[in-house]
Amino acid sequence: MSLSGEIVSAKSMQALYLEERTNKLILEDSHWFAIYSFTDEGVYIEDIFVMEDFRKSGHAAKLADKIALIAKVRGVTKMIGSVCPSAKGSTASLKVLLAYGMKLVSASNNMIWFVKEL
C-alpha cells in the first residue's frame, strides 16, 4: 500500500509468508514497511522501517495512520507499540512513538510498552 492511499497489489514473498504463517499483517512499499497484528487489547505495531534516505519526513506516522484507519474499521480503539531499549536505534524509536502521541504504559523484561487511543 502506498502512503498516498492506493493499494499496491504485489506483496513481497516475505510479506505473504508472514501473513500466512503468523497472522501478522504488512503494509509495504519499496522504501518502507510496517508489521502489525490484532490482539485482544488492540492493534499492535510490531515494526516500522523506513529507509534512511526517507526518514524524518513523516513516513512512519503515515504508516501508523494507515494502520489506525484499518483498526478503526474493525472497531479497534487502541494502538499498541513497543521499544526494546537494548536494540540498535532504540532512542530514535522512543522519540518516534512519543512524537506520534503514544503514552508509556509499562516497562519490563527489556521492553517498553506504549498505547494510543484511536
**What would the grid cell of residue 69 be?**
484507519
- Domain span at residue 78 reads 13-117
Print pLDDT tens along the chain (118 aa).
455 554 444 788 888 898 899 989 999 988 999 999 999 999 999 999 999 999 998 999 999 999 999 999 999 999 999 999 999 999 999 999 999 999 999 999 999 999 999 9
**pTM score:** 0.87
Asked if the structure places residue 3 within a domain, the reply is no
CATH number of the domain where residue 112 is located = 3.40.630.30
Structural domain total, the chain: 1
Asked if the structure places residue 105 within a domain, the reply is yes
Asked if the structure places residue 102 within a domain, the reply is yes
CA dist., res. 59 & res. 82, Å (int) = 18
Asked if the structure places residue 2 within a domain, the reply is no
**Strand pairing class (43-50; 111-117):** unpaired
How many CA atoms are closer than 13 Å to the CA of 54, on its beta-carbon side?
16
Longest dimension (CA), the chain: 39
